[in-house]
Amino acid sequence: MARVNPKNVLIKIVLPIFTLFLLLSVFISRSNIESVNNGQSVTKHRWAHEDESSFYFPFSKKFSMPKYIYKKKTKNWLFFQNKQEDLIPQSHIAHYDLNTLQSSSDAAVNKEQVLILTPMQTFHIEYWNNILQLSYPRELIELGFIIPRNKNGDKTLKALEAEIKKTQTDKKESRFKKITILRQESEEDSFNALDEKDRHSLAVQKERRSKMALSRNQLLFSTIGPYTSWVLWLDSDIIETPTSLLQDMTFHNKPIIAANVYQRYYNEESKKDDIRPYDFNNWAESPVGLELASKMADDEIIVEGYAELATYRPLMAHFYEPNGSPSSTMNLDGVGGGCTLVKAEVHRDGAMFPTFPFYHLIETEGFAKMAKRLGYEVMGLPNYLVYHYNE
């Protein structure tokens, strides 16, 4: 009688089982890789930028986010030691300790990251060139834009993307850390839906500024990161600032601080180039303003700069002294969005741009009120000028 070799029996029994298990593991692994939410295939999944909701511009020359790749690797081929683990790209999982995040007077030295946010109705090349001239390290700067969804917005987007492509495909030290462009959901929600001749009418200010506040909130919450130390709100019409703008404003180390927005123009009376105040949303509260608010219904707002609502508030625009120190400060109760620097912690603590009457204020002025209610100081720089576009 022939003897049965135990090794042959082991091979004939164990090998098919092991093969079956291996095939089953590969099938399960492939299913995990190819499936996404609701059982959609990765190959059929549409990313945000493909639906024209968001555009991301990292260092990649192709302007596309790297794909997520999850592969299974077997540590040991022995059946009883067949352990598996995910191999996840390092850039897709990160840990942040917000307790170590700081916003200080030496922002550039401490490598504090700044997020510059701009709701953009019209693209001005002077605005972009001014951004490029800022001396703050570009690897510490992120840019964020929100553009209305209409014909003018399409034109603006095309012009902005062309300039971004030039910068982000240039040498590495010339690139910004990240650039994000958002499009609004519909034309009806656009913050520039009104014609130029109508948008400054007092009757439409509540609706217009509510839409503007919504746009600012969408932009802020879509772009602020756990590494952001400062947020600079910069109007798309601001075409001239000192090159040291970010260093100068962070130096004061204030929760909220606003520059004084002026405009260059040709003075017909003096027959020479001159400057004039432009933004009147940076102000300190007045007894008249408080009394006016006390008599208003809950859903009414006060809008500065209209004769129908004379508040007699001290306006920072009128406190400019040609020979004064650019570092002089004054206390404010309301701010505009022309050029206002905010510590990121202020936004993280809940100070946003109310789309509704908040103590009879809305949008940027409502934001300042909300921040003060949270205990933050609001300051202005009356002698530190930035310049608005003049058609």
The pLDDT tens digits along the chain (391 residues) read: 555 555 555 556 656 676 766 666 655 544 443 444 444 444 454 444 444 444 545 444 444 444 544 444 444 554 544 444 555 555 666 777 888 899 999 999 999 999 999 999 999 999 999 999 999 999 999 999 999 999 999 999 999 999 999 999 999 999 999 999 999 987 666 666 555 555 566 678 899 999 999 999 999 999 999 999 999 999 999 999 999 999 999 999 999 999 999 999 999 999 999 999 999 999 999 999 999 999 999 999 998 877 778 899 999 999 999 999 999 999 999 999 999 999 999 999 999 999 999 999 999 999 999 999 999 999 999 999 999 999 7
Q: CA torsion 46→51→55→56, rounded to 10°?
A: -10
Q: What is the CATH number of the domain that holds 327?
A: 3.90.550.10
Question: Do 245 and 356 reside in the same domain of the chain?
Answer: yes
Q: What is the reported pLDDT for 303? A: 86
Q: What is the reported pLDDT for 175? A: 95
| Tokens at 337, concatenated | 């969005």
The answer to whether 373 and 247 are in contact (CB under 8 A) is: no
Question: Do 137 and 227 reside in the same domain of the chain?
Answer: yes
Q: Give the whole-angstrom CA distance, residue 326 versus residue 255.
A: 18
H helices within 35-101, ranges in order? Answer: none
In a domain, 149, yes or no: yes
Neighbours of 53 (CB within 10 A): 13
Question: Do 12 and 158 reside in the same domain of the chain?
Answer: no
In a domain, 170, yes or no: yes
Question: Do 233 and 382 reside in the same domain of the chain?
Answer: yes
With a threshold of 0.85, does the pTM exceed it? Answer: no
Question: Do 215 and 250 reside in the same domain of the chain?
Answer: yes
In a domain, 274, yes or no: yes
Question: Do 123 and 80 reside in the same domain of the chain?
Answer: no
In a domain, 157, yes or no: yes
- Quick one: DSSP state of residue 135? -
CA distances from 352 to 147, 193, 362, 374 (A): 19, 22, 10, 11
Question: Do 231 and 296 reside in the same domain of the chain?
Answer: yes
Q: What is the reported pLDDT for 60? A: 43
In a domain, 101, yes or no: no
Question: Do 224 and 300 reside in the same domain of the chain?
Answer: yes
In a domain, 46, yes or no: no
Q: What is the reported pLDDT for 71? A: 46
Q: What is the reported pLDDT for 36? A: 41
Report phi then psi at 170, rounded to 5: -80, -175
Question: Do 245 and 382 reside in the same domain of the chain?
Answer: yes
Q: Can you give the residue range of the structural domain that contains 82?
A: 6-36+54-90
Question: Do 362 and 236 reside in the same domain of the chain?
Answer: yes
| Tokens at 103, concatenated | 């916003």
Tally of domains within the chain: 2
> Among candidates 372, 194, 205, 369, which has minimal Cα distance to 300?
205
Question: Do 248 and 134 reside in the same domain of the chain?
Answer: yes
In a domain, 287, yes or no: yes
